[in-house]
Structure 1
Amino acid sequence: MASATTCLPLVLLLVSTLIAASTTPSSTASAAAQAPQELLLDFRASLQDPTGALSSWSRSTPYCNWPRVACTATTAAANATVSVSLSLQGLGLSGELSAASLCRVPGLVDLSLASNAFNQTVPLELSRCASLVSLNLSAGAFWGPLPEQLAALASLVSLDLSGNSIEGQVPAGLAALGRLEVLDLGGNRLSGVLHPALFGNLTGLRLLDLSGNQFTESELPRELGNLTGLSWLFLQGSGFTGAIPESFLGLEQLQALDLSMNSLAGPVPPGFGLRLQKLMALDLSQNGLSGPFPEEIGKCSMLQRFEVHDNAFTGELPGGLWSLPDLRVIRAQNNRFAGRLPEFPGGQSRLEQVQLDNNSFTGGVPQSIGLVRTLYRFSASLNELNGSLPDNICDSPAMSIINISRNSLSGTIPEFKNCKRLVSLYLAGNGFTGSISASLGDLPVLTYIDLSSNGLTGGIPAELQNLKLALLNVSYNQLTGRVPPSLISELPAVFLQGNPGLCGPGLPNDCDAPMRKRQGLAIAATVASFLTGVVLLAVGAFAACRRLHGSEPSPWKLVLFHPVKITVEELFAGFRDKNIIGRGAFGKVYLTELQDGQNIAVKRLLNSGKLTFRAVKNEMKALAKVRHKNIAKMLGFCYSDDEVGVIYDYLQMGSLQDLICAPKFTMGWKDRARIAMGVAQGLAHLHHDRTPQVLHRDLKASNVLLGDEFEPRITGFGIDRVVGEMAYQTSMASDLNYKCYIAPEQSCAKNPTHLMDVYSFGVILLELVTGKPAEQPASDDDSMDIVRWVRRRINVTDSQILDPSISRTAHQGMQAALELALRCTSVMPDQRPAMDEVVRSLYPLCFSVHPQTLLPTEIALEP
């Protein structure tokens, strides 16, 4: 068959040549112009082919042997025909498509131009490709309206236009494509109302994807229920309103149904699931659905994913869910579910994730939890669970995340010796008593520990120093004794407050103070007279030196919260112009290298508010307790009547502003998303995890430092508390260079709010999405702040906003980040999201896959 496929075009070409010999010269030329070879070469001539992928197309080789061209011969009783498939996806092609010549290629049944960079409207000439069975233009940088002329492709079985910037309404005329089985329009900018007539004739559809569009004026069409052959229905994130139609109960062939991230409301239709025996994935999350969930979902024996989180469901979770043989994921957090959690079916269960946070579940944690060998995440925080933790809670060899914080659990914390894959352990806000088990220090990948707000006693085990921790929170317990040194000096985030019995460096209690006091009393009597003489001599010498040199004592006072080998004199010596690495509203930032090689950054602030040393020390001490992996460590401060110098760890990669303003800002989307997520997490910690709340009030790219692998750390927060409100307002008003980061309402608001910080974060996110600095250079003819720049172009095309240096494959995630940034920079403060919501929105954008399919160690990054 392969040789016949290759030779048949040659035979046809020979027959054409013999016929042409008996014709006139003019007819010979006309026939040559119609040859598939010539038509395809004309098509190639209209393209820009940067990689030369099509350079080997030539007249000397039969076109069926060309790269990216496939021919299939079919033999009928009367004649032989050739079906041609053209697969040009992922070649970086651009230029104006010459679809007119392409559509004259006889037998063209399959055309794929996906993942290219055409940057044009969908060619109307494609409607002349009458023999097309499959058309794939996904991620091809097409924009403009969806041509109704495509309805002329009567033979079309698959149409994929996803991942473009196609806008406007879906033409009702596409209903003429009666043979269509696949219609994928996801990830575009379609809007308006979905006409019911559109689905009247598409009864053969097996896949329908309208996700990621803007159908904000449309309810879910009940006519979708007539598409009884549908296997995959994806309508997520498209602004649909209203209720789930009862007609959906009849979609018996459904394998995947995703209605998440819309504005749906009301109850799920009774009986939902009874006839959906092939359903494997159900996602109704992030809507406004309410009422009890129908028990019939427990009869969907093939169900693998049940995701209904972030709604207002009440009542109990359907009991049949827990015994489904293939169920892997239950995500029902942030609802109003109640009742007791049933026992898991033990070794028969294939559950991997159970997330039930922020509901009203009561009773105990299921005793059979450790028998589920595949379970790697169990989180049920913010419920009303009581009783003790099962001793076997970590017997599952896959268990990586346990979060049962903010419940009413009691008793001792069991040993976790079998939790060799445990990454995160969150038990905060319960009534646990007893000691912290030293066995935690033997768990090789344990990274996050939060045992705060319990009744734990005893000391902090020294074995915890064996772990590479990113978080240790044992605050507000009854712990006593010396804190292991490395748990204070090396952790990005450690919380010890609320334990008066703890002592160690940087804590209110000094472990060695009693011993030093006893030693001092023992020798005090023997040295008193000697000290008196020394003091008299020192006073005389000091007076003589002042007369000789006219010098004054140092006006600086130095307070260190962490071990730093530096004196006041060395610190002051570093305040030279050559050491300046930044300038801001409040002063200059200096880089100083210490004798041991450590680099520190010192931000000098004018003490124009004339705050006393005691007041500054109290504020600095409170700010120094803010510890998070995405917040720069405050090492200490120095004070004089006129200035305050804040000492931070210095990161070698500099600031985000340095990176964005570099001559060539070339950074992939994955790293940019990592930076955005880190900044959001740090800011969310200031806003939501601190009591009282800490506002940054000066967030900008220059106050985001970058560590290894572009891990960001926020600096410069809480400066207003150090310099005083009046001095803060004066300095900010005079700092025109960074005015673009300031929320519009700041000049007229009586009190600062966290939503002002959200605005500043939105500006940083716009910088990351566009690759442009927040304030355009004054020499730029199009100079303006980035918020105005984006808003003036938002209705044009994404290619004019999103950084063109980023691969097109990342543009869907960048588009989602752009929309989030625009929400954050809304003129109306009440329309901006809180930072914890921002973190949730950013989380899926940091990864190339859906967050629910990440490895356990990656999921653990989300508290």
Structure 2
Amino acid sequence: MVAMQQLLLLFLLLLLHLKALMNNWRNEPESWTGSTDPCTSWVGISCSNGRVTEMRLASMNLQGTLSNAIGQLSALKYLDLSNNQNLGGPLTPNIGNLKQLTTLALNSNNFTGGIPPTLGLLSNLFWLDMSANQLSGQIPVSPGLNQLVNTRHFHFSENQLTGPMSESLFSDKMNLIHVLFDNNQLTGPIPAELGSITTLQILRLDNNKFTGAVPTNISNLVDLNVLNFADNQLHGTMPDLSTLTKLNVVDLSNNSFDPSAIPTWMLTLETLASVAIASGGLHGQIPNRIFTLPRLQQVILSNNAFNGTLDMTGNITQQLQQVNLLNNRIVAANITQSYNRTLVLVGNPVCLDPDFSSSRFCSIQQDSATSYTTSVTHCGSTSCSSDQSLDPANCGCAYPYMGMIFFRSPLFADLRNNEHFQLLEASLSTELGLQPGSVFLSDIHFTSDNYLQVQVRLFPSIGTSFNLSEVTRIGSDLSNQNYKPPQGFGPYYFVADPYVHFAGAADGGKSQVSTGAIAGIAVACGLILIAVTSGAIFSLLQKRRTRELSGRTNPFENNEIGSGSYGKVYKAVLVDGTNVAIKRAEYGSKQGAVEFKNEIELLSRVHHKNLVSLTGFCYEQGEQMLVYEYVSNGTLRQNLQARGIYLDWKKRLRIALGSARGLAYLHELADPPIIHRDVKSTNILLDENFKPKVADFGLSKLVADTEKGHISTQVKGTLGYLDPEYYMTQQLSEKSDVYSFGVVMLEILSGRLPISNGRYIVREFRMAINPNDHDYYGLQGIVDPAIHDAAHTARFRRFVQLAMECVDESASRRPTMNSVVKEIETMLHSEGLSSGSSSTVEFEHVGTASTSHPHSGEVVTAH
């Protein structure tokens, strides 16, 4: 029964968190506004046991920012918001709350500001991609990325990161295979600890401002396939890479290494496919051996000081496609006739030789042929409208899903080689589940960053448009490299164009996703209520819109039973006869919105018979209502003021015990612990049997493990109940609740308000107590006349002493709520009464749904 209630409340809370995300977005999927169940019908959302576990929203043209509410989806394992170029702003530190996350893909967006240090809390993270944003500042450590020892991918290319890389950023505990920080503004030396991550396969630090020598222990990276340190300010000796026997691609160009002959590893690493050391201070003659390496396709050694005769005769590898020796000092060249690929000798003395100067090798543009483009000649003269394209599979016009794939380190250089790109076409259509021949490639070229850029158009297998789920699937597969390209293309990233021609939408397939205000959450903002049958089985009642609920209150204004800073509280009767209390925020209240969300979140976590139960809520375009069980005997304050039923000493002890048990549960058994922060007599409600229930969690605070002891926070609470130490230092702890409860205990003794006629109840008791007065303990003029008969007992005196211990000015000297519970239980046993439980902190779960009408007093906020 309790489990059912908790699941329903969690479902409502889930809707609230997703609505908070939506409030910061435009162009969210249409299914998000047309359905109330995100787990079954919201595109891109997957759930398990009613909790969101995956958000796959790549290339959805989302616009806006990432709300703090993302941190509330604590079961999330997969978050992909990549390729939404209009999604930006600072990254919330609340991402660190997603402790189950294994994949975080935020690449190709417009996020700004620093990398949140809280990412270091994501101990299960496997894939981390924040490339192609506007992130700035230093890379955070301790806390920060150095804590991610299980992560395999660090993708931070193409940002604006600055400052040095800390030596503690990397360690031998890490299991990284990709470290990509290219195209940033990083400075200082390359951390030597990088050489301890022996799992590394791709390491790109190019296009930064790194200085100093390359760490010698880079030679430990025996699994490395790609190494790129180009375009930095590195100096010292050229690194020895002879132990990196799996190296395919290496680029050390445009640094300030000491002048040297060609490194010996360039002649021995038979796995090399591409080697570039432009402007590397190299001199001497180029050994013929380099051109015979069996897998070599590209050699770039421009702007060096190579001299003598270039020997490209003998057993030149058939794979070799490009040799760039621009601006060297080569005086002669012997080139085998079988070599018909690119060789650039422009800027060398040999091109001044009349017998050689006419050679095509002395021209930059050696071939007028263009790069590969998918052929559609078989389609004849068919033409399409400006927003459609010709599908090469059927020669029809359709709306393709388009984007750019950037291959970071391809192992070939010849863009006219049809075989490479025909393999890519076939691979894309097969692995992405498309019709054969439905891929069109064009605009293929190398960028200034040495990325191979390919424009891709993917056509739908059926009809002329993709549906939203297909775009989501394809975009996610490409964004997260689930798609594996043919061998030789290497790692890549994908930047999609916005797709607005979804199948099934009106107006020629164009999406009609609203960018206006979103209808409220729970059931198009109908009120969801949880009712309890006579068999104590929870069921979801019919959905009620706000106007229906308003009708049942006949109207709201005629049933007001309380008010406070949040708004007003009303009694209502549902159609099945169930009494409920409805706390309704002032319309559009920002403070109310915060408290509203806080109370739902906290009450969905806790279940105890001495805590009020939330049974539903409504959130509709500025309308915020919380629905509770109705507690028939009002507040403790009302009853102490003789507006309720007479409270004798024994009833007061039981009320104090139950209230203390509720608070002790919050402090010690809730996970994580909760500090109420507004304990007072108007927030203690009495049911028909005078069993107390602590209410009003709008100001309450969750306590993370790292915050135990105290939390620095803005001071909130009610005057008269505020812990003076908390007020002065802004350091909140469970002992702040203990102080407030001590004030409540003094109210129980005196029947007085905490502050009355300028007099403070704590000071009045402190000054009046006289241990030598055996009849009234010095409190005859303060104690409520209704309990004078109990004043002469030892239990009464101990109750007074306990209350004064709770209001001690030093938090460290106050008891815990668990200790308070034990003390009051002992008093009840001494009175010959049962305390109602054999356990110190009772945590019996709620057995029936019942709610209150909590009043709120004046709230003080200190800045």
The TM-score with structure 2 as length reference comes to 0.42
* Higher helix proportion: 1
Of structures 1 and 2, the larger Rg is shown by 2
* Higher strand proportion: 2
Identify the structure with bigger relative contact order (alpha carbons < 8 Å, sequence gap 6+).
Answer: 2
